[in-house]
Amino acid sequence: MNTISRDEVAHLARLARLAVTEDELDTFAAQLDVILASVARVGEVAADDIPPTSHAVPLTNVFRADEVRPGLTQQQALSGAPATEDGRFKVPQILGGDE
């Protein structure tokens, strides 16, 4: 039995903002199915009472003195932008026409 369907892959691609092609959907559905079947092995480990680890070393919040430090200039921040206007990032319309 497949663990993931072609439709589910299409849904994942939408969530992940990937405009995948029809051919890719076939390839990825088959490949993700094999990978998921393999990684599902983690479920074999009895770990109900085991705490999860999210990070290799314990994370603690790091504070610093609230002092002004040099950062990127406006020009530096915009230096890699695909489009700019009036010293700002120029982006496509955020909302669809009906919204």
Partner 1 sequence: MNELVRSTASELAALIHSGEVSSAEVTRMHLERIAAVDPEIHAFLHVAGDAALSTAAEVDAALAAGEQPRSPLAGVPLALKDVFTTVDMPTTCGSKILDGWQPPYDATVTARLRAAGVVILGKTNMDEFAMGSSTEHSAFGPTRNPWDTRRVPGGSGGGSAASLAAFEAPLAMGTDTGGSIRQPAALTGTVGVKPTYGGVSRYGLVACASSLDQAGPCARTVLDAALLHEVLAGHDPLDSTSIDEPVPAVVDAVRRGAQGDLRGLRVGMVKEFAGDGYQPGVQGAYRAALDQLSALGAELVEVSCPHFDYALAAYYLILPSEVSSNLARFDGMRYGLRVDNGAATAEEVMAATREAGFGAEAKRRIMLGTYALSSGYYEAYYGQAQKVRTLISRDFTAAFTKADVLVSPTAPTTAFPIGEKVDDPLAMYLNDLCTIPANMAGNTAMSVPAGLAEEDGLPVGLQIMAPALGEAVMYRVAAAFEAARDAAEGGPLFRRVPGLEVPA
- DSSP for 7-23 reads HHHHHHHHHTT----HH
| Residue 34 engages partner 1 in binding (rule: CB under 8 A) | yes
Does the footprint of partner 1 cover residue 26 (CB under 8 A)?
no
| 35-74 footprint of partner 1 as x/- string (CB under 8 A) | xx-xxxxxxxx-x--xxxxxxxx-x-xx-x-------x--
Q: Are 87 and 78 in contact (CB under 8 A)?
A: yes
Residue type, 48: D
CA-based nearest residue to 10, from 31, 25, 27: 25
Q: How far is the CB of 16 from partner 1 (least distance, A)?
A: 5
Query: Which one, 21 or 87, has the nearer CB to partner 1?
Result: 21
C-alpha distances out from residue 17 to 13, 31, 81, 83, Å: 6, 19, 20, 20
Footprint on this chain of partner 1 (rule: CB under 8 A): 4, 8-9, 12-21, 24, 27-28, 31-32, 34-36, 38-45, 47, 50-57, 59, 61-62, 64, 72, 76-77, 79-83, 89, 91-97
